[in-house]
Amino acid sequence: MTHVKNDDGTDCLDQWESEDGSPSVQYSGRKAYRAKSEQRRLQILEGTLRIAVKDGIRAIKHRSVAKEAGVPLASTTYYFKDIDELINDAFILFAEKSQEAADRFYAMINLVLDGAPQESMARGGTGREALVRRLASIVSAYFSEQLSQRREAVLAEHVFLMEALRDPELSKLARQYHATWVSGLERLLERVDSTFPRQDAYTLVNFGLGLGYDGLLYHDESGAQGLSESVERMLGFVMGLPQCPESCPGRGRS
Q: 112 and 179, same structural domain?
A: yes
CATH number at residue 142: 1.10.357.10
How many angstroms separate the CA atoms of 246 and 45, rounded? 51
Q: 116 and 79, same structural domain?
A: no
Say if CB 168 and CB 195 are below 8 A apart: no
Domain count, the chain: 2
How many angstroms separate the CA atoms of 183 and 20, rounded? 9
Q: 34 and 148, same structural domain?
A: no
- What per-residue confidence (pLDDT) applies to 10? 37
| Domain end among 85, 108, 125 | 85
Reported as a single tens digit per residue, the pLDDT across 74-116 is 999 999 989 999 999 999 899 888 888 888 999 999 999 999 9
* Closest listed residue to residue 143, CA positions, set 226, 81, 87, 68: 226
Identify residue 120 by its one-letter amino acid code. S
The pTM assigned to this predicted structure is: 0.79
Asked if pLDDT for residue 35 goes beyond 70, the answer is no
Please give the residue range of the domain that contains residue 148.
93-238
Q: 179 and 79, same structural domain?
A: no
Q: 230 and 156, same structural domain?
A: yes
Residue 219's alpha-carbon distances to 146, 156, 215, 233, in angstroms, are 12, 16, 5, 21
Q: 70 and 100, same structural domain?
A: no
Q: 226 and 133, same structural domain?
A: yes
Distance in angstroms between the alpha carbons of the first and the last residue of the chain? 44
Helix, strand or coil, per DSSP, at residue 64: helix
Is the residue at 204 inside a domain?
A: yes
Reported as a single tens digit per residue, the pLDDT across 127-179 is 999 999 999 999 999 999 999 898 999 999 999 999 899 988 889 889 989 99
Q: 130 and 34, same structural domain?
A: no
Reported as a single tens digit per residue, the pLDDT across 233-253 is 999 999 999 865 445 555 544
Identify residue 97 by its one-letter amino acid code. K
CATH number at residue 76: 1.10.10.60
How many angstroms separate the CA atoms of 71 and 48, rounded? 12
- What per-residue confidence (pLDDT) applies to 235? 96
Q: What is the mean pLDDT of the chain?
A: 83
